[in-house]
Amino acid sequence: MTQRIGLLTGGGDCPGLNSVIWSVVRASLGRGIEVLGIEDGFDGLIAGGTVRKLTLTDVRGIHREGGTVLGTTNRGNPFRYRVQQQDGSFAERDCSDDVVRSVRRLGIDGLIVVGGDGSLAIAHQLSEKGVPVIGVPKTIDNDLAATDNTFGFYSAVTTAMEALDKLKTTAESHDRVMILEVMGRDAGWIALASGLAAGVHAILIPEIPYSVEVVLAKIRSRWAEERRNYTLIVVAEGAFPTGGEAAYVKVAGVGTNARLGGAGVRLQEALEASFAAGWDHHRGAPEVRTTVLGHLQRGGSPGAYDRIISARFGAHAVELATAGRWGEMVALQGTTIGSVPIADAIGHTHLVDREGQVVRACRSVGICFGDHWP
């Protein structure tokens, strides 16, 4: 019988994590199950980590708040743990046995791991070492397979849409080309959804490599229309021109991930170079400005949809734990919350279908993807 659950949040944070914590704690305590909150992802189960019993008071009202009261990290893989050497450099060490020992020492019957692809892959590896785990999928990128949506996504899309709405009015006043760079490492869901919601003129995503010439053709077509000269472009951080690759500001190091950045500025510079090389409109070439939305997309309160699915995910994870369905991940399947083996959910990225309905709807309303225009 399940009497004590360990709960942790791993990877990049996103709106809705606190709502999962809130519902796991409330659903568990209601069944007489104790919840140990593990701080800072898997780090909490490695020497020096912190674990604390979660009470109703600890979670009161947190379902409305962004972030995670348990803390998180996207560098805490216990199988490749980053440890500092005596000479100051960093090396990787396998600390997974420490995690297994901590779980046993704390009398945890099973772990609920709330995370993205990386954290769920770690959860799966731990389950292969005998740790009972239940996965709860999260990411603003919405790029996890086996669940129709992840919580956090629509809150991030709302933030991006509101930014685009604001950029539109200033772009229109100045007849500028405004570029908004949004998150989306491998998948362009945030750019796609916010771009459609805001009615932008071009959406550039990793799934559809773009040509600067095609984007220019779209801008020229805007300038050919009387009093409609500004152009609003949303670009996913992982987007790249045909034959090129994604733009990075930092390469991966020991225990650290590579960091994307610069997709927007790169496009701006390419457009400016083309304008300088020849722009035949009597009013001269448009100015281009880039805004990088960054972590604003991960912060703030979850929207209604994300609060609801995250609360349902948490409650369902407790049902799975109570039923002893270890090794499964809760998943949204249509309008129902079900579950799938974690093993089936990891390692497959849920990409935008370039021929799919959403892309086709965007094209129908005149949005350019940088691959052809018109």
List residues near ligand F6P by CB under 6 A.
12, 74, 116, 139-141, 183-185, 237, 259-260, 298
- Phi (first) and psi of residue 317, to 5 degrees: -60, -40
Smallest gap from Cβ 92 to ligand F6P, in A, equals: 18
Neighbours of 272 (CB within 10 A): 15
What is the secondary structure of 258-311 as a DSSP string?
Answer: -EE--HHHHHHHHHHHHHHH----TT-PPPEEEEE-GGGGT-S---HHHHHHHH
Q: Where are the alpha helices (DSSP H) in 175-252?
A: 189-198, 212-223
Given a contact cutoff of 8 angstroms between Cβ atoms, the answer to whether 260 and 247 are in contact is yes
Smallest gap from Cβ 153 to ligand F6P, in A, equals: 10
* Residue number, 52 or 259, with CB nearest to ligand F6P: 259
Given a contact cutoff of 8 angstroms between Cβ atoms, the answer to whether 292 and 263 are in contact is no
Which of 297, 31, 17, 1 lies closest to 136 in space, CA to CA?
A: 17
Smallest gap from Cβ 135 to ligand F6P, in A, equals: 16
Type of residue at 162: E
Q: How far apart are CA 205 and CA 236, in angstroms?
A: 5
357 exposure class (CB count in 10 Å sphere: 0-12, 13-18, 19+): exposed
Q: How far apart are CA 101 and CA 97, in angstroms?
A: 6
* Residue number, 34 or 141, with CB nearest to ligand F6P: 141
Residue carrying the six token digits 């604003």: 296
Smallest gap from Cβ 237 to ligand F6P, in A, equals: 6
Active site residue 141: yes
What is the secondary structure of 1-38 as a DSSP string?
Answer: ---EEEEEE-SS--TTHHHHHHHHHHHHHHTT-EEEEE
Q: Which residue is nearest to ligand F6P (CB)?
A: 183
* Residue number, 132 or 184, with CB nearest to ligand F6P: 184
Secondary structure of residue 202 in the 3-state scheme? strand
* Residue number, 12 or 16, with CB nearest to ligand F6P: 12
* Residue number, 76 or 132, with CB nearest to ligand F6P: 76
Smallest gap from Cβ 156 to ligand F6P, in A, equals: 8
Cis peptide before 374 (omega within 30 of 0): yes
Given a contact cutoff of 8 angstroms between Cβ atoms, the answer to whether 180 and 263 are in contact is no
- Phi (first) and psi of residue 231, to 5 degrees: -135, 130
Of residues 141, 143, 186, 306, which has the active-site annotation?
Answer: 141
Token reading at 82: 């980053």
* Residue number, 177 or 309, with CB nearest to ligand F6P: 309
Smallest gap from Cβ 269 to ligand F6P, in A, equals: 21
Smallest gap from Cβ 38 to ligand F6P, in A, equals: 20
* Residue number, 78 or 238, with CB nearest to ligand F6P: 238
Q: How far apart are CA 190 and CA 188, in angstroms?
A: 6
State the catalytic residues: 141
